[in-house]
């Protein structure tokens, strides 16, 4: 990708109305553009990150038997009247009328619709367990949208819905999803902290939130120090709660072991039994031909929130530092002297050679050296290949690690070899 043709409107100015660093950096690096309170357009750098995050999520969901679908963003109110949530959901639901006066809404979540799709097609215990998931836009008319896309009104979520024949099987599914979430977040370079949670508007009786630690998090977490080194299995039982649930009198963690940190909720899983299957008369026939209401769960990951959360946990005073797994590009080539034919031929040679294997951004813009270096640090691609006149005359280019700042000089052939490995 040539930067001269790439739509990444970066800016030096610190935006006045951004309170947290991820919001500032997303605006400055040209990732998002606000169109109304809590509603953002997503520009190419951000789209590439969302796609990396989504790919990891899908791979992990598919591993546990998830089936990817697209439910709809616009739903008929009828399903929500049937489940009893239409009135209960309150003002967070964006309600819409069509030209015939029919009641519709923009999906804040899709439990009802998932149940409706399931009941139309699955009639026997043989069709269970079933997991349906999607990555799709949601709308919640939050009272206080804030911190950019962290708490938006329109946001992207991965939402999954599971159907099992009985409690034992549903519990296994819940545990499988729980562990796959731990893997999902770890693959993005994050340390997930699962905390026992209330199930709120979704309803039910078993629920965990997944947080990542960041000073700007909206929740305060109380957790056992052991959690930071726990195995995936231990994570399910190691003690952690958020502020609403913490009671210092009843805490089972000793003072020495207790950690208190701010966290950002990037995922939330729920088991809620037959709440929706009963309300929506959704059943299958078991081996003996008896009607059984499936036991259900739902599982969310805040995909758009994750983009901001990753930035909160990985940046410095010059800009974003993308973990390699979610970076918009693998490497950026900075041609510092466009008018120097040697710099141009070396840059092009490297660009053409490594583009087969890597996602490469080639900064061929006619701007100052300072601007080019600053933009590369701001956008935060993990590797920079810096091509300057003096170095090229000496037969070398510079390879910079964005995270450590370390710069190594080497021949262009050696750089190419490194990226083709």
- Least gap, CB of 151 to ligand P5A (angstroms): 5
* C-alpha closest to that of 277 among 298, 259, 260: 298
Q: Which residues pair with 211 in a beta bridge?
A: 193, 265
Counting every residue written for the chain, the total comes to 421
* Residue nearest to ligand P5A as judged by C-beta position: 302
Q: What is the secondary structure of 12-29 as a DSSP string? A: SSPPTT--SHHHHHHHHT
Give Cβ neighbours of residue 52 (< 8 Å, ≥ 6 apart): 325, 326, 327, 328
Which residue in this structure is represented by tokens 């009893």?
84
Q: Which is nearer to ligand P5A, 123 or 245 (CB)?
A: 245
Grouping H, G, I as helix, E, B as strand and the rest as coil, residue 236 is: coil
Q: Cα-flanking dihedrals φ and ψ of residue 241, to 5°?
A: -140, 165
Q: Which is nearer to ligand P5A, 194 or 380 (CB)?
A: 194
- Least gap, CB of 221 to ligand P5A (angstroms): 14
* C-alpha closest to that of 140 among 36, 41, 38, 276: 38
Q: Which is nearer to ligand P5A, 266 or 321 (CB)?
A: 266
Positions in the binding site for ligand P5A (CB under 6 A): 109, 140, 142, 151-152, 155, 157, 159, 202, 265-268, 270, 298-300, 302, 304-305
Q: Which is nearer to ligand P5A, 194 or 319 (CB)?
A: 194
Q: Which is nearer to ligand P5A, 299 or 419 (CB)?
A: 299
- Least gap, CB of 298 to ligand P5A (angstroms): 4
Q: Which is nearer to ligand P5A, 270 or 383 (CB)?
A: 270
- Least gap, CB of 101 to ligand P5A (angstroms): 29
Q: Which is nearer to ligand P5A, 160 or 360 (CB)?
A: 160
Give Cβ neighbours of residue 214 (< 8 Å, ≥ 6 apart): 262, 263, 264, 309, 312, 313
Q: What is the secondary structure of 135-191 as a DSSP string? A: EEEEE---SS-BTTTTB-SEEEEEEEEEEESSHHHHHHHHHHHHHHHHHHHHHTT--
- Least gap, CB of 219 to ligand P5A (angstroms): 11
- Least gap, CB of 158 to ligand P5A (angstroms): 8
**Cα–Cα distance measured from residue 208 to residue 194, given in angstroms and rounded to the nearest whole number:** 6
- Least gap, CB of 132 to ligand P5A (angstroms): 11
């Amino acid at each position: 990708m040539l930067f001269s043709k790439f739509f990444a409107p970066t800016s030096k100015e610190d935006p006045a109305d951004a309170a947290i660093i991820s919001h500032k950096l997303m605006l400055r690096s040209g990732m998002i553009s606000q169109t109304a309170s809590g509603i953002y357009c997503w520009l190419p750098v951000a789209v590439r990150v969302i796609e990396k995050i989504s790919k990891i999520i899908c791979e992990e969901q598919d591993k546990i038997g998830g089936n990817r679908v697209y439910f709809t963003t616009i739903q008929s109110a009828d399903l929500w009247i049937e489940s009893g949530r239409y009135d209960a959901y309150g003002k967070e639901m964006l309600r819409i009328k069509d030209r015939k006066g029919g009641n519709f809404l923009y999906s804040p979540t899709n439990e009802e619709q998932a149940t409706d799709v399931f009941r139309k097609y699955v009639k026997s215990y043989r069709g269970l367990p079933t997991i349906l998931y999607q990555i799709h836009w949601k709308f919640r008319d939050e009272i206080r949208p804030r911190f950019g896309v962290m708490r938006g009104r329109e946001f992207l979520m991965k939402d999954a819905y599971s159907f099992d024949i009985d409690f034992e099987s549903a519990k296994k599914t819940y545990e499988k999803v729980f562990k796959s979430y731990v893997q999902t977040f770890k693959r993005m370079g994050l340390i997930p902290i699962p905390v026992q949670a209330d199930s709120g508007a979704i309803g039910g009786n078993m629920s965990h939130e997944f947080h990542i630690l960041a000073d700007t998090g909206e929740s305060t977490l109380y957790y056992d120090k052991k959690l930071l080194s726990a195995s995936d299995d231990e994570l399910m039982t190691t003690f952690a709660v958020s502020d609403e649930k913490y009671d210092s009198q009843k805490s089972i963690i000793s003072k020495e072991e207790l950690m208190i940190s701010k966290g950002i909720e990037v995922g939330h899983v729920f088991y809620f039994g037959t709440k929706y299957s009963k309300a929506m008369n959704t059943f299958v026939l078991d081996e003996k031909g008896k009607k059984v209401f499936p036991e259900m769960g739902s599982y969310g990951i805040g995909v758009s929130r994750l983009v901001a959360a990753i930035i909160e946990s990985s940046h410095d005073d010059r800009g974003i530092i993308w973990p390699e797994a979610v970076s918009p590009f693998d490497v950026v080539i900075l041609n510092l002297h466009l008018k120097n034919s040697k710099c141009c031929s070396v840059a092009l040679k490297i660009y053409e050679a490594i583009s087969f294997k890597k996602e490469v951004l080639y900064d061929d813009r006619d701007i100052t050296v300072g601007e080019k270096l600053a933009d590369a640090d701001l956008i935060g691609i993990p590797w920079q290949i810096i091509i300057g006149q003096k170095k090229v005359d000496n037969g070398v280019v510079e390879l910079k690690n964005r995270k450590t700042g370390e710069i190594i000089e080497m021949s262009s052939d050696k750089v190419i070899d490194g990226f083709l490995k």
